[in-house]
A and B are shown apart, each in its own frame.
Chain A
């Protein structure tokens, strides 16, 4: 492996070296840009190595990955989704798409690893379990693939054709069984592979899912709203708006811990996201953390140079000690 040797005449501090590397590589370009999508800020000051870990705009990376995937550029797609998972490791769609992109690039082992991570986050995802099983079958790991098939069959038995995912389960089982058949058996068609592009959402469909989620929230159908937000997320990835709304739904469901988790995830991606900042401040009011809420308000006031509704609404929450509309 090549080793970067510095000049004999002087040594640059490590931080500067890392800064130079960052500025001279595509990876560095992403670091130096500080990301888009309202993330703001850049990295003009020298960084220590611990500070120079990659910082991507995962929503943008996800969009790039989707574009590359849909264009059949699986290697590029895998690179983008790999960045997504680095920046937002808790985002299931990033791992799932990384698995699909690696599968498209004939990297079954890499696909299986990514899909396994996705399943740890969302064990109920039928498509992901199917794709994981297909990847294992492609790696000739029949036992492990069969174990996944058994899990799908168990779900199907519990469902008994009555659950919403009944058709998906049936289809998944059929595809995995086909993939597990010996090559010379009397299969009716070629074994399925990991390329479920039909399940990918376009941006327009993602918008539709998003608006549907908004509608469902207003109908107080929070479980259905989360499903719709999942679909929007499949199109847009870890978008801070979607993460913030997931937090909002969990708050409405009384799961303040999960609400906070999503607000924090949104703010990790977009530290200056006004909505997430406001809602996180409101959550702190609910939890009785007025000082924390005031910190959020101060943050909004700093970024809203000319005033903004987010700050004024949070101020009213703080003044009222809760939802002023209640």
Chain B
């Protein structure tokens, strides 16, 4: 491995404009190669197999505990793990979540972010790009670990008796990524989720991991799982409920990106509407309005309608491999045979 080298410039991260600088850099680096408006491409290495990355992902090796309380904590952590707003600061503004480096709780060999990565699949956790706390002016990106791999390969003790994992995650959120202080329940949830990632939960034992298709159905399931917010309300834990609702909104945003283009305006509007409804519910939670749970329940009852509409439109979305290939080639994605012809 190369010796750590001193950074050529001190890139410390006041919130707004580093995001701007990154955006410029990305525009310069990727504009000629990427025409798909998906945030994941912001942190995908140049030259990576974009079609594969957008259409396939590693299987999540998650052993959900049988105990309902333990399972609840895992669900809280699972949702927060996928929410950029957990991290705050520049990462949140770039759309980066824990899951960006650890796809489906695993690793991401294609991750590359300007100023943060060296070779694809590496990140410098002591970089000033995202942190004013942990920057050390030394460019030493390390391989992103597979959280779904064998625990012995991970540097942090994950045993439930040890506080090391919680301390590590807290430092990562607050110092490494400049996020706001997370609610205790969210921190507990993140630790529970990471502990529940286990190679034994994967069909092939996690050795290399299997892969699965990236689908709208799975994304919608993630939205609805984030509605563990109801359980948080039952636990009278408003801050966790808010975090879960926000995670659900972020997942809706991820879905909306995939339903790109004028032909899918109606689907995006459904998603936007669903997200704004959640925003109103979040306001109710902030006000400790006792009606928040009832509203959330009603929101969940309405979900099948927009879910069905999205699944129906999925072949026209960027969940479809053919559409992705066409979009990446710079062409207008062809209308699928199921789409009505317009004179």
| A290 on the B face (CB < 8 A) | no
- Interface residues in chain B, defined as those with a beta carbon under 8 Å from any beta carbon in chain A: 9-21, 24-25, 28, 84-85, 88-89, 92-93, 128, 132, 180, 246, 249-250, 252-253, 256, 271-272, 275-276, 279
Given pairs A207-B24, A218-B13, A244-B17, 7 additional interface contacts (CB within 8 A) = A214-B12, A214-B14, A248-B17, A305-B253, A307-B279, A312-B246, A313-B180
Q: How far apart are B311's CB and chain A's nearest CB, in angstroms?
A: 20
Of A305, A312, A316, A324, most buried by chain B (CB within 10 Å of CB) is A305
A190 to B28, CA, bound (A): 40
Report A114-145 CB contacts with B as 1/0, cut-off 8 Å: 00000000000000000000000000000000
Within 8 Å by CB of A305, from B28, B92, B132, B275, lies B275
Q: List 23 A-B contacts (CB under 8 A).
A: A207-B24, A210-B17, A212-B9, A214-B17, A214-B18, A218-B14, A241-B16, A241-B20, A248-B16, A275-B17, A275-B19, A275-B20, A305-B253, A305-B276, A306-B250, A306-B253, A306-B272, A307-B85, A307-B250, A307-B275, A310-B93, A312-B85, A312-B180
Residues of B with C-beta under 8 A to A312: 85, 88, 92, 180, 246
A307 to B282, CA, bound (A): 11
Within 8 Å by CB of B21, from A207, A217, A218, A324, lies A207
| A309 on the B face (CB < 8 A) | yes
A324 to B89, CA, bound (A): 13
Q: Cβ of B279 and Cβ of A215 under 8 Å apart?
A: no
Q: Cβ of B253 and Cβ of A307 under 8 Å apart?
A: yes
Name the 9 nearest CB pairs between A and B, nearest first. A306-B253, A218-B12, A241-B20, A309-B92, A275-B16, A215-B10, A307-B249, A245-B17, A305-B272
A279 to B249, CA, bound (A): 23
Of A218, A248, A275, most buried by chain B (CB within 10 Å of CB) is A218
Q: What is the predominant secondary structure among interface residues of chain A facing chain B?
A: helix
Q: How far apart are A326's CB and chain B's nearest CB, in angstroms?
A: 13
Residues of A with C-beta under 8 A to B89: 309
Q: Cβ of A217 and Cβ of B10 under 8 Å apart?
A: no
Residues of A with C-beta under 8 A to B250: 306-307
A208's nearest neighbour on chain B, judged by CB, is: B9
Residues of B with C-beta under 8 A to A248: 14, 16-17
Report A192-222 CB contacts with B as 1/0, cut-off 8 Å: 0000000000010001101111110111000
Q: Cβ of B17 and Cβ of A241 under 8 Å apart?
A: yes
Q: List residues 63-122 of chain A with CB under 8 A from any CB of chain B.
A: none
A201 to B11, CA, bound (A): 20
| A168 on the B face (CB < 8 A) | no
| A177 on the B face (CB < 8 A) | no
Q: How far apart are A37's CB and chain B's nearest CB, in angstroms?
A: 11
Q: Cβ of B84 and Cβ of A309 under 8 Å apart?
A: yes
Q: How far apart are A281's CB and chain B's nearest CB, in angstroms?
A: 13
Given A207-B25, A218-B132: A306 in contact with B17 (beta carbons within 8 A): no
Residues of B with C-beta under 8 A to A217: 12, 14
Q: How far apart are A314's CB and chain B's nearest CB, in angstroms?
A: 11
Report A285-326 CB contacts with B as 1/0, cut-off 8 Å: 000000000000000010001111110110010000000100
Residues of A with C-beta under 8 A to B256: 305-306
Residues of B with C-beta under 8 A to A212: 9
A26 to B252, CA, bound (A): 39
Q: Cβ of A324 and Cβ of B16 under 8 Å apart?
A: no
Q: How far apart are A222's CB and chain B's nearest CB, in angstroms?
A: 12
A204's nearest neighbour on chain B, judged by CB, is: B28
A313 to B87, CA, bound (A): 12
B92's nearest neighbour on chain A, judged by CB, is: A309
Residues of B with C-beta under 8 A to A305: 253, 256, 272, 275-276
Report A254-272 CB contacts with B as 1/0, cut-off 8 Å: 0000000000000000000
Q: How far apart are A33's CB and chain B's nearest CB, in angstroms?
A: 17
Q: Cβ of A214 and Cβ of B13 under 8 Å apart?
A: yes
Q: How far apart are B79's CB and chain A's nearest CB, in angstroms?
A: 13
A275 to B19, CA, bound (A): 10
A214 to B85, CA, bound (A): 22
Given A210-B21, A275-B16, A305-B275: A219 in contact with B10 (beta carbons within 8 A): yes
Q: Cβ of A301 and Cβ of B279 under 8 Å apart?
A: yes
Residues of A with C-beta under 8 A to B19: 275
A207 to B20, CA, bound (A): 10
Q: Cβ of A215 and Cβ of B12 under 8 Å apart?
A: yes
Residues of B with C-beta under 8 A to A203: 24, 28
Q: How far apart are B324's CB and chain A's nearest CB, in angstroms?
A: 21
Report A223-266 CB contacts with B as 1/0, cut-off 8 Å: 00000000000000001011011001000000000000000000
Residues of B with C-beta under 8 A to A316: 180
Residues of A with C-beta under 8 A to B16: 241, 244-245, 248, 275, 278-279
A163 to B250, CA, bound (A): 52
Residues of A with C-beta under 8 A to B15: 275, 313
A217 to B12, CA, bound (A): 9
Q: Cβ of B93 and Cβ of A309 under 8 Å apart?
A: yes
Q: How far apart are B196's CB and chain A's nearest CB, in angstroms?
A: 26
A207 to B9, CA, bound (A): 12
Q: Cβ of A211 and Cβ of B252 under 8 Å apart?
A: no
Q: How far apart are A283's CB and chain B's nearest CB, in angstroms?
A: 13
Residues of A with C-beta under 8 A to B24: 203, 207, 210
Q: Cβ of A214 and Cβ of B253 under 8 Å apart?
A: no
A301 to B335, CA, bound (A): 34
Of B10, B20, B89, B252, most buried by chain A (CB within 10 Å of CB) is B20
A217 to B15, CA, bound (A): 11
Q: How far apart are B223's CB and chain A's nearest CB, in angstroms?
A: 11
Residues of A with C-beta under 8 A to B275: 305-307
Q: How far apart are B84's CB and chain A's nearest CB, in angstroms?
A: 7
A249's nearest neighbour on chain B, judged by CB, is: B14
